[in-house]
């Protein structure tokens, strides 16, 4: 398993509570749920972490070659 990094996260209590409920609904730990949400956002915005690291999105107003 890849090395895991720990860090302090300051978060609104209401957001944390909503994430905890969502994690419970999906049978995940809170930590796993936060990572799930972050990975999904990265994928949606074309910045998904792949085999070679994070993909950087092109500058606004430009498109990547097909």
The answer to whether 12 touches 19, Cβ cutoff 8 Å, is: no
> Is the full-model pTM beyond 0.85?
no
Q: What is the pLDDT along the chain (66 residues), one digit of tens a residue?
A: 778 899 999 999 999 999 999 999 999 999 999 999 999 999 999 998 774 454 555 555 655 554
Q: Which pLDDT does position 62 carry in this prediction?
A: 52
CA distances from 8 to 11, 15, 18, 26, 51 (A): 10, 16, 19, 24, 26
The answer to whether 41 touches 49, Cβ cutoff 8 Å, is: no
SS3 63: coil
């Amino acid at each position: 398993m890849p090395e895991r990094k720990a860090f302090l996260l300051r978060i609104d209590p209401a957001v944390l509570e909503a994430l905890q409920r969502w994690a419970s609904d999906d049978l995940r730990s809170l930590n796993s749920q936060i990572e799930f949400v972050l990975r999904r956002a990265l994928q949606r915005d074309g910045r998904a972490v792949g085999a070679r690291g994070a993909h950087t999105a092109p500058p606004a107003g430009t498109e990547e070659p097909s």
